[in-house]
Structure 1
Amino acid sequence: MPKEIKSDLRKYQRAEVGPIWKQEVSSGVGVTSIAARTFKSGNTVKAGAVITLKAGGSNKKLSGGATAAELVRPAEFGTTRRDKSTKYYRTSPNGTRHTVTRRTSRQLPNRRRGGYVIYPAAGRSTKRIVSLSVQTVTRRIYDSIEGG
Structure 2
Amino acid sequence: MAGVGRISLLIDSPLRTVWLAFRGLEPEVRKQITSHTKRIAEPVWQETTREHALSRLQQRVLAGTSRVGVSGLSVTLRAGGGGRLSSGTPTSQLSHAVAFGASPNKQQRVPAHSRKGHPVRAHTRRLGTRFNPPRRGGYVVFPAAREVIPRMASLVVQTTIRTVHELREKVGR
TM-score range, shorter chain: 0.7 to 0.9
User: How well do the aligned residues superpose, as a CA RMSD in angstroms?
Assistant: 2.8
Q: Is the 8 A contact 2:42 2:68 kept in 1?
A: yes
TM-score w.r.t. length of structure 1: 0.74
Residue 53 (str. 1) matches residue 52 (str. 2) = no
1:5 aligned partner:
29
User: Which of 17, 20, 28 lines up with 2:52 in the alignment?
Assistant: 28
Q: Whose radius of gyration is greater, 1 or 2? A: 1
Cα distance in structure 2, aligned partners of 1:135 and 1:23: 20
Where does structure 1 lack aligned partners over 5 or more consecutive residues? 89-99
User: Which of 105, 111, 133 lines up with 1:110 in the alignment?
Assistant: 133
Instruction: Report how far residue 47 of structure 1 moved.
Output: 1.7
Where does structure 2 lack aligned partners over 5 or more consecutive residues? 1-22, 110-122
> For each residue in 1:87-128, what CA deviation from the matched residue of structure 2 results, as whole angstroms up to 9, or x when unmatched?
99xxxxxxxxxxx99542321111111110011111111111
Determine helix, strand or coil for the equivalent of 1:47.
strand
Determine helix, strand or coil for the equivalent of 1:60.
coil
User: Which of 148, 153, 172 lines up with 1:125 in the alignment?
Assistant: 148
1:97 aligned partner:
none
> For each residue in 1:11-52, what CA deviation from the matched residue of structure 2 results, as whole angstroms up to 9, or x when unmatched?
21121001001101111121x453133124222111212222
Instruction: Report how far residue 85 of structure 1 moved.
Output: 6.8
Residue 43 (str. 1) matches residue 66 (str. 2) = yes
Instruction: Report how far residue 10 of structure 1 moved.
Output: 0.8
Q: Is the 8 A contact 1:41 1:58 kept in 2?
A: no
